[in-house]
Amino acid sequence: MRLHPSELYFYHSPTQPIDKQTKAYAKTLTKFVNEIDVIKEPITATQWDQILRKLQLRPKDLLNRSHPDYQNQIAGKDWDDEGWLNILVKFPHLIKSPIAIFKNRAILCRTPSDILKLD
């Protein structure tokens, strides 16, 4: 995954209220915000792996564990690393917060203002 240094990559689900607020903060950091709607634009397992390495998180750290889809289809099962990556590919709507990558740093934005930590 090649990233342009002056571009902020914003992985999000536009249906989430926190995502809209965080996107507004993102535009204060740079005028070059590359929005990636994780629902409409499929992210491959390899891309998720690269994003997770930048975040220094595990796949399950990104997921909303209270969502009914998580409870019905994922919880209580034993998944290996590849399995967790495939869950991200198949269920991107379970991502609990937007992800921002800017200047080779990444953050899971649990609150809208978290994105400002990339400045």
Task: Note if the pTM is more than 0.85.
Answer: yes
Per-residue pLDDT of the chain (119 residues; tens, 9 = 90+): 566 667 999 999 877 778 889 999 999 999 899 999 999 999 999 999 999 999 999 999 999 999 999 999 999 999 999 999 999 999 999 999 999 999 889 999 999 999 999 98
Q: Which residues contact 29 (CB under 8 A, 6 or more apart)?
A: 8, 102, 115, 116, 118, 119
Q: Give DSSP secondary structure letters for 75-106.
A: TTS---HHHHHHHHHH-GGGB-S-EEEETTEE
Q: Give DSSP secondary structure letters for 4-69.
A: -TT-EEEEE-TTSHHHHHHHHHHHHH-S-EEEEETTTSPPPHHHHHHHHHHHT--GGGGB-TTSHH
